[in-house]
Structure 1
Amino acid sequence: MAFEGNITRLEIHTVGQGFYQGFNPVVAMATKTITLFLVALLVLLPGASGAAIGTLRTLTLSLFGGWYIYLMAAFVFFCLLLVVLPSAGRIVLGPDGAIPEHSTLAWLCMMFCAGIGVGILVFSVSEPVSHFVRNPENLGAATKLSPSEQAVSALRFVYLHWGLSAWACYAVTGLALGLACHRYNQPMTMRSALTPLFGHRLEGPLGHLIDIISLLAIIAGITTTIVLGLEQICSGLSVLTGSRFFADQAGNPPLTALLTALVVAISIAIASVVSGVERGIKWTSQFGIALAFCVLTVFVAFGGGTRVAGLLLEASADYFTQLPVLITTLYDPGASAVAAEQRAWQGEWTIFYWAWWIAFAPFVGVFLARISRGRTLREFILGAMFVPTAMCFVWFAGTGGSALLLEGDGTAGGKILAAEHAFRIYQAVDLMLAPEGALVIKAVLVFLFLVLIVASTTAAIIAIKSIGAAGSDLAETPMHSMLWAVVIAAITGAVMAVGGVASIRDVMIVGAVPFSAIMALMLVAVVMMIGAARRGGERA
């Protein structure tokens, strides 16, 4: 494949021998040093660190809230435009004529489970219930909405957070890397996505900085995922065993329980990542999807029943008809008291999610690029954006929608609404099933949370090693997998110790800012690489 314009092969320095063989020492060591420095600050100065995180969150929401909203909207519009272009069906992520390395089913399972698996289970019931009680529409409504209207409104905002915006974010990163690495033979590392813009300058400090920022974003994203999953595991174990070790009287998991669950989850993740993509994450992801489908079936069969289909269609129609407004609305806190509440809700939910998806984008993008060689641009966008969106819609209608229907018809009697965040899914199971069946499903949920944590952590470690090694296969060593797992566990434990689960949102909102700027540049780089591919195709 001939290179066009600034699309030149990068030569990134890696160590030829020793412990860091195959790695770029600046990127690998700098990232570990920064992360361990943050761990030390959190442990040694917990009060000051917690206050600083809160201050940074407030500043970020003030300065970058609108940036997050409009950037994510740009990703959606870009992907929608690209998928309808005729050239999207001809240009391949790889040399012309390349064929996919994985079956479509295996590809979708790996992408979906590794990219978003834990979160979709954590918020399956809790988020729809939260939006049922409070969302921008019912905050600003002149009259009180009926229960059915509230259910549709709640799901529409869930779909805002888990729909096209999230997957467009991943798709842009995956496209940038897939084109650069598979079609233009660049190393599988984040800086390669910006080669059309900066060329050989990425071989030096600028490229090192981009990779370091990407690794820190991955660490922030996977830390959030792990903590939210651990909270659910501990809550589930407290429900199953009745032990106060897993949750206190208020229903909050104590730090000791969270740290114990963290050690178990990270240990299993190490075994998974050492076994490789084919055996580790592929099997784990497919098993996780199968278990999740079983959970969804139980919720629909014993919860909402056939009414789920109507709720799904109505909420989906509302989402797509209101999409341009939904993804571009930024509430003005100074307009009125209601607008101030709406903006507070947006910071707590939407901006948190946009930051989470942006932080997830480096490792999901790397992973998607690795497994998507041979896919056309259109196939990639449909598989990485539209299919997962449909899966998310069905999932939340079946799980959270069933819970809302139980509340709407009076069956739940307010019990799901009154339950704490981490207990809502277990409360819904208790209401749907007899005690014996509920016990089995709650045990399945605890196990599924663990499986999805392992899948996401495995994918994150694979991406971290790939970026730190500039895509070199020589860095695929078990020792580095274990070391990165320990680093992730250390920062996760430190954040939990300082501010508990609540501090995770603050860390995420702040931590995603630097990588969001890199993602904006990726949009430009993708356009340049597609233009180069089209010119090459015309000459051929």
Structure 2
Amino acid sequence: MRPPVTELDIPTADEGFYKGFTKIVAISGKFLVAVLIIWALLPAASLTFGPAAEGPASVFVDADGNYSAAASVVLGAVNSVILASFNYWYVYVMAFFVILCLVLALWPASGQLKLGLEDDEPEFTNFSWFSMMFGAGIGIGMLTFATAEPMYHWASNPATIQGINEGSTAGNVREAYVWSFTHWGLAAWSSYAIVGLALAYFSYRRSLPLTIRSALVPLFGRSAMEGFFGHVVDIVAVVATVLGVSQTLGFGVEQFISGLTRIGFGDWLQQTGADGTVRASAAGIVVALIVIMGASTLSALSGVGKGIKWLSNINMGLSFFILAFFLIFGSTFFGLQALFVGIFDYLVSIPGNILTVWASDGVEGSEASQLAGWQGGWTIFYWAWWIAFAPFVGVFLARISKGRTVREYVLGAMIVPATMCFVWFAIVGGTAIDLELNGDAAGAIVNTGQSDQLFAMLAVMLSDSLAWIMSVIVVILLLTYLVTSADSAVLIINTINAAGDEGPKARPHIVFWGAALALVVGGLIVAGGLGAIQTAMVIGALPFSLVMVLMGFSLLKAVVNDGRRSRRGLASTHDEIAAE
């Protein structure tokens, strides 16, 4: 057998503004993101066409031939095609990630392999490792959806659509948690874990650069990954990262603004639409993004070992405090029952839920169409979100996981965070459902928007002064989670652009990507609300999902071949090859 590739010469600039960066990746990524920002912010009255066009151009004009400027309209049209045509792909891809992670962890030959050399030890303690992983991976979404998602599925889910259960009743609680745990459980974290595992394996065992293309070397060879194809892979990863992180930041910004309004910063932060829905105002979005992205840029400049590490530890401490509060003062028995029964129901449901695809029969209002619409709006959306978020979280997980075994990594990056999500959803979301079931909330929680439901629940549970104090703590936790996610994303984007260089990056590039994330989030929210970000993210996730599948097969091939090398006494790590 030939020895594995331990060198990947990715061309980077030797001087100038892009010194240390792969110019084609860095410039292309910036250009594509800039185009998205300009498109989203383009004024509605800036362009007109003549007569209403036919074909693809007609998407851009209204009945009077005027340019709609609604990026969300175009994104929505493309998104509908993707959800209808690639639903099977998304479902089976996520099932593949779950199975592959479990096989690599449980297979003795691969589980004991170290992500590094034999004498490498983990850089971070278990607590810091888990804190950074959880904060970057899912902390923001958990604060928003720990209350909102169980409440929604309690009212509507496939069982209610099929007439099996009645929504918003005690008999529908178990089904609500099956789907909440499905969306935030093993599938979500397996998509992160597979990217991080592949990158850590090739970077720390074979000394390849810590960038997405390195994980495809066993499949396509060194020359392809050093050239144009490798550049395309990294560009796709950068764009997917920007869109995936923007989705997460978008949810966080909306909830952050709701929290600021609750603690008395003024009603100007929000506005009420003609349909009565409350959403963040343009001024509120600008203020929130200036605070969040300013702090995250400063943290990114300090690096992973300083700002990000300390912020992550603060995140975890505050998270445990809030969780302890709900365990003591919330609906403890109801929540614990939801947790243990929900985990059992979820585990039993896994084979069916992660492989079932509901297809529309084309009849509006039919059961098949409703089920397909529900799955597209929830499950497929989540699978796309996790995939778009995976290059960012995966590179970050690889960066902080050197020295751990494959089994330790998978358990830490897949099982433990999923369990933490289950606890939050059961205790916090369970308290909200119980307050509505027993009549104490009287609709105060269920009738408010998802970004405000956590604060509404605190207002129901506590006196005005105590609710204000707890809301302040939640707002602080939101801010630290937002900053952690944003600054980690900036560092990861620069790492990919710099051909895997983990060292300090030029300050102007850090500032650029901090500003770019703020503009993407703000621009898409202003253009079409969170829906515009969601549809852009689903579109951006599709090409990267193919890259991730190839990474999974590449990793499996490398592990099998390294096992064959070990049995023949051949070198399989870069230090062994160098010694020969």
Give the TM-score, by structure 2 length.
Answer: 0.90
Deviation at 1:144, TM superposition (A): 2.7
Deviation at 1:307, TM superposition (A): 2.6
Instruction: Name the residue aligned to 1:111.
Output: 133
Report the structure number with the largest CA radius of gyration: 2
Structure 1 residue ranges without an equivalent (≥5): none
Give the SS at the match of 1:248: strand
- After TM superposition, the structure 1 stretch with the greater mean CA deviation from structure 2, 127-136 or 295-304, is 295-304
- After TM superposition, the structure 1 stretch with the greater mean CA deviation from structure 2, 367-376 or 476-485, is 476-485
Aligned AA for 1:299? F
Q: What is the distance in 2 between the residues matched to 1:146 and 1:234? A: 28
Deviation at 1:531, TM superposition (A): 1.3
Q: 1:169 to 1:229 in 2, by over 3 A?
A: same
Q: What is the distance in 1 between the residues matched to 2:170 and 2:486? A: 38
Instruction: Name the residue aligned to 2:419.
Output: 390
Give the SS at the match of 1:471: coil
Deviation at 1:534, TM superposition (A): 1.3
Matched, 1:161 2:188: no
Instruction: Name the residue aligned to 1:479.
Output: 508
Give the SS at the match of 1:460: helix
- 2:268 is aligned, of 245, 264, 278, to 245
Q: 1:391 to 1:3 in 2, by over 3 A?
A: farther
Instruction: Name the residue aligned to 2:405.
Output: 376
Instruction: Name the residue aligned to 1:287.
Output: 314
Q: What is the distance in 2 between the residues matched to 1:190 and 1:213? A: 10
Q: Is the 8 A contact 1:303 1:406 kept in 2?
A: no
Give the SS at the match of 2:446: helix
Deviation at 1:45, TM superposition (A): 5.6
Q: What is the distance in 1 between the residues matched to 2:300 and 2:231? A: 25
- 1:204 is aligned, of 202, 227, 237, to 227
Q: What is the distance in 2 between the residues matched to 1:389 and 1:473? A: 28
Q: 1:413 to 1:382 in 2, by over 3 A?
A: same
Deviation at 1:50, TM superposition (A): 2.7
- 1:13 is aligned, of 4, 11, 30, to 11
Aligned AA for 2:8? L
Q: Is the 8 A contact 1:10 1:187 kept in 2?
A: yes
Structure 2 residue ranges without an equivalent (≥5): 45-67, 570-580
Q: What is the distance in 2 between the residues matched to 1:226 and 1:309? A: 30
Q: Is the 8 A contact 2:159 2:165 kept in 1?
A: no
Q: Is the 8 A contact 2:104 2:111 kept in 1?
A: no
Q: 1:85 to 1:281 in 2, by over 3 A?
A: same
Q: What is the distance in 2 between the residues matched to 1:397 and 1:120? A: 12
Matched, 1:133 2:155: yes
Deviation at 1:44, TM superposition (A): 2.2
Q: Is the 8 A contact 2:185 2:418 kept in 1?
A: yes
Give the SS at the match of 2:176: helix
Q: Is the 8 A contact 1:118 1:452 kept in 2?
A: yes
Instruction: Name the residue aligned to 1:62.
Output: 84
Q: 1:533 to 1:100 in 2, by over 3 A?
A: farther
Deviation at 1:242, TM superposition (A): 6.7
Q: Is the 8 A contact 1:151 1:405 kept in 2?
A: no
Instruction: Name the residue aligned to 2:58.
Output: none
Give the SS at the match of 1:245: helix
Q: 1:528 to 1:197 in 2, by over 3 A?
A: same
Matched, 1:519 2:548: yes
Instruction: Name the residue aligned to 1:261.
Output: 288
Aligned AA for 1:333? S
Q: What is the distance in 2 between the residues matched to 1:362 and 1:417? A: 35
Instruction: Name the residue aligned to 1:406.
Output: 435
Matched, 1:22 2:1: no
Q: What is the distance in 2 between the residues matched to 1:349 and 1:296? A: 26
- 2:339 is aligned, of 299, 312, 328, to 312
Instruction: Name the residue aligned to 1:101.
Output: 123
Deviation at 1:447, TM superposition (A): 1.5
Q: Is the 8 A contact 2:154 2:168 kept in 1?
A: no
- 1:31 is aligned, of 29, 32, 35, to 29
Matched, 1:433 2:431: no
Q: What is the distance in 1 between the residues matched to 2:43 and 2:544? A: 27
Q: What is the distance in 2 between the residues matched to 1:436 and 1:75? A: 47
Give the SS at the match of 2:208: coil
Aligned AA for 2:152? S
Give the TM-score, by structure 1 length.
Answer: 0.96
Q: Is the 8 A contact 1:131 1:157 kept in 2?
A: yes
Q: Is the 8 A contact 1:53 1:507 kept in 2?
A: yes
Q: Is the 8 A contact 1:171 1:365 kept in 2?
A: yes
Deviation at 1:497, TM superposition (A): 2.0
Q: Is the 8 A contact 2:123 2:403 kept in 1?
A: yes
Instruction: Name the residue aligned to 2:250.
Output: 227
Aligned AA for 2:264? T
Deviation at 1:533, TM superposition (A): 2.3
Instruction: Name the residue aligned to 2:357.
Output: 330
Q: Is the 8 A contact 1:93 1:372 kept in 2?
A: yes
Deviation at 1:68, TM superposition (A): 0.8
Deviation at 1:452, TM superposition (A): 0.5
Aligned AA for 2:192? Y
Q: 1:376 to 1:117 in 2, by over 3 A?
A: same
Q: Deviations over 1:409-459 (max 9, x none)?
A: 222222211112221111111111121111101111111111101000111
Q: Deviations over 1:68-118 (max 9, x none)?
A: 111001111111222211113321111233221211111111111111111
Matched, 1:4 2:33: no
Q: 1:335 to 1:4 in 2, by over 3 A?
A: farther
Aligned AA for 2:492? A
Instruction: Name the residue aligned to 1:41.
Output: 39
Q: What is the distance in 2 between the residues matched to 1:492 and 1:367? A: 21
- After TM superposition, the structure 1 stretch with the greater mean CA deviation from structure 2, 264-273 or 246-255, is 246-255
Q: Deviations over 1:519-540 (max 9, x none)?
A: 0101110111111321233234
- After TM superposition, the structure 1 stretch with the greater mean CA deviation from structure 2, 330-339 or 51-60, is 330-339
Q: What is the distance in 2 between the residues matched to 1:257 and 1:67? A: 38
Q: Which has the higher contact order (CA 8 A, sep 6+)?
A: 1
Q: What is the distance in 2 between the residues matched to 1:335 and 1:479? A: 51
Q: What is the distance in 1 between the residues matched to 2:260 and 2:41? A: 27
CA RMSD of aligned residues (A): 1.7
Q: 1:145 to 1:55 in 2, by over 3 A?
A: closer
- After TM superposition, the structure 1 stretch with the greater mean CA deviation from structure 2, 405-414 or 125-134, is 405-414
Give the SS at the match of 2:115: coil
Q: Deviations over 1:313-336 (max 9, x none)?
A: 111100001101011111121187
Q: What is the distance in 2 between the residues matched to 1:228 and 1:429? A: 19
Instruction: Name the residue aligned to 1:124.
Output: 146
Deviation at 1:208, TM superposition (A): 0.3
Q: What is the distance in 1 between the residues matched to 2:2 and 2:428? A: 49
Q: What is the distance in 2 between the residues matched to 1:143 and 1:211? A: 46
